[in-house]
Structures are given as C-alpha cells and as structure tokens.
Chains A and B, each alone.
Chain A
C-alpha cells in the first residue's frame, strides 16, 4: 500500500474514532473543565494525530494509549460521582478569595493569583468596585464567582414587593413554515387551533418563519415578509382596559341613581371590580 493511501485510511478511521470519543467524554463546557480533563483532551488529540500521520507505526499500540486516556477520565468521573472525598482529591476544592468584603491574601497565594488578576475577574462579573463584593470564590475550574453586598445586587421583583405572574418557557410551534407537532401537543393545542389563530391574523402558514406560543397561550409570529405589519397580541391589555371602563361606569351609576338599594349595589360591584383589577394586574399587564 502506498504511504498516502495508508495515511488516508488511518485519518478517516481516526476521525470517526475521535468524534465518537468526544461524544463519550461528554458535552461539558470546554472552558470549565478540571485540569486533568483538559490534559486528557490534549493527549487524545496528540495521539490521534500521531497515529493518523503514521508516526506511530503500530496502530494497536496507538489505540492502547488512546483507550487509556479516554477511559481514565471517565473512570475518574464515575468515582468522583460516588465519593465526595475522591471528588475533592481529583478536582481540588474551591477557594475563598474574598470573605466579608476582605481579600484573603493566603487564598490568593494558594491559587497563585495576583491582585490584578483578581480585579480583572471581578470586573468581568460586573463588580468594578471591590467595596461592593461581599464574597468571592475560585471554583475548582478556575472561574471566579462573586457575591455582591445586598445593597449592590440587581433589584428583583421580590425586592420591590411586586407580584409577578408565573411564566413558563414559550414553545416554538412554527419553524420555517412547518408546524412542529410535539411542542404544540405539549401545550394541549392542535393544528386546528393554530389554523384558526393564523386565519384570525390573516397570515398563511408558509409565510411564517417562526411562531412561538407563550405560557398564557398567545401566539407570536415572525414572517418572511417583513413588510406586513402584524397585530401583536394585545388582548390582555384590552381586557384590563375594558374592566377599568366597566368599573368607572359602575361608579358613575352609583353617583347618578337615586334608588338607595341600587346605589349600594353599584358601589359594592364597583369595589369588587376594583379588587379584581388589582389582582389581575400582574397577570394581564406584565
């Protein structure tokens, strides 16, 4: 066999092997892997390259080495899943770098991190001011995470005491003009429902690039033809506005009528609607 054919065969075979190996090794984020895994990836790549270029003449030898470097990381992963002590031994422990707003110099020493590097990492977490950081830790992957002082954290709805409606993830039901049945069924809807919705909006299915249904069942569409202006769902706002109007009318009736009973009835119902509006506000307007 001429050399070039040999190399061609080996390369094709190894490419398939390496793709399979990458699948086996898992889909973890490559920037956040423990060092031993990083090394094993490198060695695997190197061995594969050497076999493929015929530097390692005996394929079997190369495959043995490759097998060890593939199987050992997997074995280590399983062992560290089973035993916490083993996990700490292999991955190391996270190190506290800032505690109660004070930098732990010995933590910096142990991780061999300079002050500038720490500040850079904190800045990338949007903590430009060291005084804002309550606690920071270096994870076993080398990433630094910071916990801001309570007054410096972004405001949440909970902090403001605002009630918000629970929202589930939207489901994509139309992609590239095709109806996706599975997400549609998971919402308890069917093609007929979709057909009616599209008809109401006056759009044909093959003009829709993307359609999403949010957790309240409203359909949002993006069309191929961007010149068409679509009425985006404003139904909930309409309900709220109508309620508001009805409530105001009831108040007016209560003022206008001379009948005592009717006055009381209007007042009571106006009050009821007012309470209802307060209750529905987070669900309809946000």
Chain B
C-alpha cells in the first residue's frame, strides 16, 4: 500500500498561489505609490 499522488497538482497549486500573490503585491504597491505621489503633487499645487 503506497500513496500515489499526482505531483503536477501540487506544482500547479503552488505556482498559482505564488503568481497571484506576487502580482497582487506588485500591482498594489505600484498603484498606492502612484496615488500617494499624485496626492502630494496636488497638495503642493494649492498655495
């Protein structure tokens, strides 16, 4: 009695989680940076 698991299911799951999380982190950090810099520039314009 030996366990037989499909390795590709585990590989696919790991890469799906990894890709989604990494891309979400990159996009989130980039967008919040752009938002913060836009706000700063707007605040500077108003005298």
Q: Is B a genuine binding partner of A?
A: no
